[in-house]
Each structure stands twice: as C-alpha cells, then as structure tokens.
Chain A
Amino acid sequence: DGGITQSPKYLFRKEGQNVTLSCEQNLNHDAMYWYRQDPGQGLRLIYYSQIVNDFQKGDIAEGYSVSREKKESFPLTVTSAQKNPTAFYLCASKTFGIQPQHFGDGTRLSIL
C-alpha cells in the first residue's frame, strides 16, 4: 500500500543534541511538508519542499533543518538551537495541483 512512513514513533532528545526525524513516501508525490503540532495550536509549518534539492522555510523554521536529496525522503533535523522541541511532528506529501496533503502518523519528540 502507498503511504507515508515516519520513524521513530517516539524520540527523546538530550540537551545539546541534534536529532533527525525520518519521513519516507512511496506515493510518487513531488511536494513534502513538515509540521509541528502543539496542543490547542493546530499545525504550524516548519519547512516544505516542492521538488528534489529545493526547500523553503515555513512559519517556524528556526532551530530546524531539512534536506531533500531524493523524491521519496524528507528528513527533519531538530537542532540544539531549538529550545522547546517537545511536540508532535507530522510529515505530509501531495501531488501538484489543488490536492489534499497525505499525512504520516507522526513522531512524538520529548526532552530527557
């Protein structure tokens, strides 16, 4: 079945540590997105990529970095500069046009 796979499901970060969240899709979608979800705040866009080797900052990019070396993969690194990383992180993808985004099942990141 086609879909989006996020791993790990749960992740713990120590102070000063960078961690990387994985997002892989086999839907042949061109565009991919990373969101952060906090209780009562909806989803906020961190980064997005419309094609391979290109990505743009979203609304809350500070303290995060991404790469898009392959169409299927869009990993997110939460750096030590992100002082409040505890959240639920969601990856999404879509094809071109006014089409819905398809979401993975998220990674919950906590601080040790």
Chain B
Amino acid sequence: AQSVAQPEDQVNVAEGNPLTVKCTYSVSGNPYLFWYVQYPNRGLQFLLKYITGDNLVKGSYGFEAEFNKSQTSFHLKKPSALVSDSALYFCAVRTYYKLSFGAGTTVTVRA
C-alpha cells in the first residue's frame, strides 16, 4: 500500500533559522507527493507537489522540497523560517484516485 510517514511530531526552530520537516514514503511505482499546511481551525493549503523531473521542487511562501529516490524521502525546507510559518504540516502521497496523508508535524517558530 502507498503510504507516507512523518517521523517528527514537532519541530521547533528560531526565526531566521532553516526549517526542515521530514517525510518518507513507501510506494510501488512512481510516487506523486504533496505538502500541505494547516493553520488552526482552517482547511489545508497546498504548498507544492512532486510528479517527475527536477528533484528540488519550489512552492508557495518560500518553501521547497527535495525528492530523494534512494532514501525514499521528500523533506520540506525553508531557508529562513518566520514566526508566521508556525502551523501543522502534512505530507501526502497520491494513491490511485486518493491522497494518503501522514500524521502531521507541528512546527513552532519562536521569535
């Protein structure tokens, strides 16, 4: 079965420092991977996706993600975190016509 795992429940960083949110995947065939962000009591917002091609994917709000086939990872990154990046982040993999989500990682950026 297609699945993703987010090994960290929480990530804490200082404002201005690099931010990394980890995601590993398990799929048969080519992976189609997504990152979403959720603010409290809101729906999910799409950040970026990987389908094929360049392993470094650039997305919204300064986020990017690196696809690594040998390590089966798709980590989300931001070079310089902002306090406003504090939120819940989800990695997801497309499974047939559906998305399978990780459990989420709560990011806290301290001023």
Contact = CB atoms under 8 A, between A and B. Distances in A.
Contacts of B104: 40, 42
B94 interface: yes
Contact of A48 (B49, B94, B98, B102): B98
A101 B51 contact: no
Interface residues of B, number: 21
B97 A43 contact: no
Contacts of A43: 44, 90, 99, 101
B41 A100 contact: no
Interface string A50-83: 1000000010000000000000000000000000
A31 B97 contact: yes
Contact of A103 (B45, B49, B51, B97): B45
Contacts of A105: 41-43
9 contacts: A4-B43, A40-B103, A42-B103, A45-B98, A58-B98, A100-B34, A100-B46, A101-B46, A103-B36
